[in-house]
């Protein structure tokens, strides 16, 4: 078996013990005589799987009973609509446009109400988190303030949450979910597409403060599927959920717990990020993309002086068993996504390759 060092931004690396456990259980799930893939979502065995997944997630994050946990489909993208449909009760919300996905969310929300851009870093190519010193004042009388906490494409991250006063904070945490502790009570709602750090594609975890979902969605036109109220009442089983995806997420949650939980994850992830940023800061060949104060611990973005050099770096990585380092087309260059399942050894292998590449360029 040859496994590569997978730095893909998502779908992304999963922990090997999780994959192996799935493999073992795949054909006959714990004596049920059938696979989870073949099992009714209304069966006893499946009820146990989804309940366990939720309970484990509640333990590792520390989610109080005042919040509901939903396992939905449609990716993070469907939540761009789901959030205004459910939460825009007064018809106005504020958006911090710190990257591509934040901008898409803002544009989608504008279809349903007054979606105000509170701050943006687009003028500097989304290389930083914008200044948010006025946010508390701006947030007054809004239904919510929306942020994308880790900007997957640009490699930037909020290192402090904005102070929105009494206005609920809503965050897309897709690419930093389970990478570090999450102080859930600072938020009205967080959501994450699982395929970055929590499981396979096809599951979106939504954690929402119950009082915000009230009797139902803010907007009449909200599709039944997208009603957080309905989904919460039906325990994410209003219709057939992504049964297999939720099963895999549950295993990843357990793995995180066994590794020591979110604090341990944060420690290792910070260490992994530091190794790469140290190489970048000492380099004459690579340039880090993100402003130092906004650097992500999940996605490390960088490039060389020319696209030809970038291509040579990406091509050479293959030979070292390093995959997935080509960046998104919006930035070009390279991106190393160093999610939980990417090991310290994998990051050291990438750092060693970067240093060798640098040597070879300097001696040219
Ligand atoms: C990947 C990603 C998305 C889009 O996710 P889909 O599941 O493909 O819709 C949105 N936001 C962030 C922060 C992401 O990383």
Nearest-atom number in ligand 1 for the CA of 75 is: 7
Binding residues for L-glutamate: 42
With residues binned 3-state (H G I as helix, E B as strand, rest as coil), the percentages for the chain, rounded to 5, are: 40, 15, 40
* Amino acid 364: pLDDT: 63
* Amino acid 1: pLDDT: 73
**Terminal Cα-to-Cα distance of the chain (whole angstroms):** 36
What pLDDT digit, counting tens, does each position of 68-103 carry? 999 999 999 999 999 999 999 999 999 999 999 999
Give the number of C-alpha atoms closer than 13 A to the C-alpha of residue 16, restricted to the C-beta side. 8
Q: At what angle do helices 44-61 and 261-281 cross, to 10 degrees?
A: 60
Judge whether 98 and 147 are in contact, CB under 8 Å: yes
What pLDDT digit, counting tens, does each position of 190-203 carry? 999 999 999 999 99
Nearest CA to ligand 1 atom 13: 174
CA 128–ligand 1 middle distance (angstroms) = 18
Banded model confidence at residue 13, pLDDT cuts 50, 70, 90: very high
CA 174–ligand 1 middle distance (angstroms) = 6
CA 75–ligand 1 middle distance (angstroms) = 7
Nearest CA to ligand 1 atom 3: 76
2 pLDDT more than 90: no
Burial 68-96 (b: 16+ CB within 10 A, else e): bbbbbebbbebbbbbbbbbbbeeebbbbb
DSSP 3-state of 35: coil
Nearest-atom number in ligand 1 for the CA of 173 is: 13
Nearest CA to ligand 1 atom 7: 75
Residues with CB under 6 A from ligand 1: 10, 75-77, 101, 148, 152, 172, 174-175, 193, 196
* Amino acid 69: pLDDT: 98
In the chain, alpha helices (H): 16-25, 44-61, 75-87, 100-109, 135-139, 210-213, 228-233, 243-258, 261-281, 307-318, 344-362
Which of 11, 71, 72, 75 has the most ligand 1 atoms within 8 A of CB, as the residue to mutate? 75
Nearest-atom number in ligand 1 for the CA of 10 is: 1
Banded model confidence at residue 280, pLDDT cuts 50, 70, 90: very high
Between CA 52 and CA 199 the distance in angstroms is 15
Between CA 336 and CA 238 the distance in angstroms is 37
* Amino acid 85: pLDDT: 98
What pLDDT digit, counting tens, does each position of 323-357 carry? 999 999 999 999 999 999 999 999 999 999 999 99
Q: What percent of the chain has pLDDT over 90?
A: 98
What pLDDT digit, counting tens, does each position of 25-69 carry? 999 999 999 999 999 999 999 999 999 999 999 999 999 999 999
Query: Which one, of 80, 72, 78, lies nearest residue 242 by Cα?
Result: 72
308 pLDDT more than 70: yes
pTM of the predicted model as reported, rounded to 2 decimal places: 0.98
* Amino acid 362: pLDDT: 80
24 pLDDT more than 90: yes
Considering the chain, what is the average pLDDT of its residues?
97
Domains and CATH numbers, the chain: 16-258 (3.40.640.10), 261-363 (3.90.1150.10)
Better-scored residue on pLDDT, 361 or 144: 144
Instruction: Return all residues near 267 (Cβ < 8 A) that are at least 6 apart.
Output: none
- Contacts by residues 59-66 (CB-CB < 8 Å, ≥ 24 positions apart): 59/257, 60/178, 60/253, 60/256, 60/257, 60/261, 60/262, 61/181, 61/182, 61/184, 61/207, 61/262, 62/184, 63/184, 63/207, 64/184, 64/185, 66/209, 66/210, 66/211
* Amino acid 259: pLDDT: 97
* Amino acid 363: pLDDT: 73
What pLDDT digit, counting tens, does each position of 183-238 carry? 999 999 999 999 999 999 999 999 999 999 999 999 999 999 999 999 999 999 99
* Amino acid 72: pLDDT: 98
């Amino acid at each position: 078996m040859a496994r590569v060092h997978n730095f893909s931004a998502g779908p992304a690396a999963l922990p090997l013990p999780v994959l192996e456990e799935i493999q073992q259980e795949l054909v006959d799930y714990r004596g049920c005589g059938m696979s989870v893939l073949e099992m009714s979502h209304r069966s006893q065995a499946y009820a146990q799987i989804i309940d366990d997944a939720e309970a484990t997630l509640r333990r590792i994050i520390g989610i109080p009973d005042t919040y509901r946990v939903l396992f939905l489909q449609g990716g993070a993208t469907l939540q761009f609509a789901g959030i205004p449909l459910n939460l825009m009760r007064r018809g106005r919300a504020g958006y911090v446009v710190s990257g591509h996905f934040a901008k898409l969310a803002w544009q989608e929300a504008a279809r349903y109400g007054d979606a105000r851009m509170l701050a943006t870093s687009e003028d500097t190519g989304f290389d930083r988190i914008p200044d948010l010193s006025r946010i508390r004042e701006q947030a007054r009388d809004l239904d919510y303030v929306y942020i994308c906490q880790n900007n997957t494409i640009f490699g930037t991250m909020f290192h402090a949450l904005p102070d929105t006063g009494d206005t609920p904070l809503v965050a897309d945490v897709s690419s930093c979910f389970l990478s570090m502790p999450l102080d859930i009570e600072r938020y009205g709602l967080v959501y994450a597409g699982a395929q970055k750090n929590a499981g396979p594609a096809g599951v979106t975890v939504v954690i929402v403060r119950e009082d915000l979902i009230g009797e139902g969605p803010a907007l009449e036109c909200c599709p039944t599927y997208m009603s957080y109220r309905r989904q919460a009442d039906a325990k994410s089983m209003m219709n057939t959920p992504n049964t297999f995806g939720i099963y895999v997420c549950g295993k990843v949650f357990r793995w995180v717990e066994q590794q020591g939980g979110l604090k341990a994850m944060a420690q290792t992830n910070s260490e992994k990020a530091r190794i790469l940023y140290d190489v970048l800061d000492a380099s004459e060949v690579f340039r880090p993309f993100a402003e130092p104060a906004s650097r992500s611990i999940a996605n490390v973005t960088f490039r060389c002086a020319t696209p030809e050099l970038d291509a040579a770096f990406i091509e050479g990585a293959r030979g070292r068993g390093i995959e997935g380092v080509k960046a998104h087309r919006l930035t070009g260059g390279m991106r190393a996504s160093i999610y939980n399942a990417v090991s310290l050894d994998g990051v050291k292998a990438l750092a060693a390759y970067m240093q060798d590449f640098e040597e070879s360029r300097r001696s040219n």
